[in-house]
Structure 1
Amino acid sequence: MNKQIIFNLPVRDLDKSKAFFSALGFSFNPQFSNESSAFMVVVDGSINAMLMTEAFFKSFINKPVVRAKEANEVIICLSCESREEVDSLIAKATAAGARIPHPPEDHGFMYDQGFEDIDGHLWNLVWMAPQA
């Protein structure tokens, strides 16, 4: 069986969130999308996100939805093929409206930087040297 990771994120404006992540190069599968959610392909065939309107997201839980601009529960970390890919995705995220919470960190064997998407969810992009 092919395992996948599918994480669910509440968003305030589904169309704006789709535009933001499209600007980063992520695609959407319309077969699993509707007016309340959009199935976003992060890494083809293995990592996906379901962007859900807050109302739809609330239908799955019995606790308040965390306002990601006020508090965070998770940092989504994606590995990249190179330092250049980290920088390229950060540039695309910034151009699409992301907030950059800290400068890049270069540890020699590892290079990373993060961004906060338009709903406040934290994403970290990391490249690690193959010998690390």
Structure 2
Amino acid sequence: MSTRSCPCGLSGAYPECCGRFHSGAAAAPTAEALMRSRYCAFVKGDAGYLLRTWHPRTRPARLDPDTGTRWTGLEILATGAGSAFHSVGTVTFRASYRGGSLHERSRFERVDGAWVYVDGEFLD
């Protein structure tokens, strides 16, 4: 994946898109932005970011992303709440990889003002 395009599917370059969230230069402003940045972290194998953006009550002690998975695209299917004016939100998405796809409705909450991933429900 080139540094010119962000793996999350938006048109911006990685450093100005999800890269700024991964580096800690900014926090994801919406649940959807956090979802996109977490997908991008899976693409890049950034377990530290994934753990930092996971709700403390549901966060695993350790995370070892599968480096053999080749993620090929993210499609946001629906969002519920999750804006700057909400404390909870949902994002339904399909993440494609070589050989298949993952369809999930993820739940997000704000903790100390920052969006974090709570859990997800697999669909299909």
Whose radius of gyration is greater, 1 or 2?
A: 1
Question: Common fold, TM-score beyond 0.5?
Answer: no
TM-score relative to the length of structure 2: 0.30
TM-score relative to the length of structure 1: 0.28
